[in-house]
Copies of this chain bind each other. A is one copy, B any other.
Amino acid sequence: MASHFLAKVYVTLKPTVNDPQGLTVRNGLHNLGFAEVGGVRVGKFLEVQLEAGDREEAARRVQEMGRQLLANPVIEQFRFDLEDVPPPTRPSP
């Protein structure tokens, strides 16, 4: 029987890539009085629910999703954590 997992995927720009969105957030924080803020980097955080036979299979599939769709390998990197989750509840018959 398949198990249910929740993958928490963090997609970030590679360190050498400029981050204009991060600069905008930093400037916004400075303008609001948060002068103590240094750099800001902005990335994506995805929660992906999936079924897999076991944790190893789930990790392999999420790795593949990241490579193919979730991250742009030219400018981004990604990592993820896997959590076991109970299967969705179904209405009683």
Binding site for B on A (CB under 8 A): 2, 4, 10-12, 22, 25, 28-29, 32, 34, 36-52, 61, 64-65, 68-70, 88
Contact = CB atoms under 8 A, between A and B. Distances in A.
Which secondary structure dominates where chain A touches chain B?
strand
A56 B44 CA distance: 26
Contact of A47 (B4, B11, B40, B70): B40
Contact of A40 (B2, B29, B36, B49): B49
Contacts of A44: 42-45
A41 B51 contact: no
Nearest to A39: B49
A38 B50 contact: yes
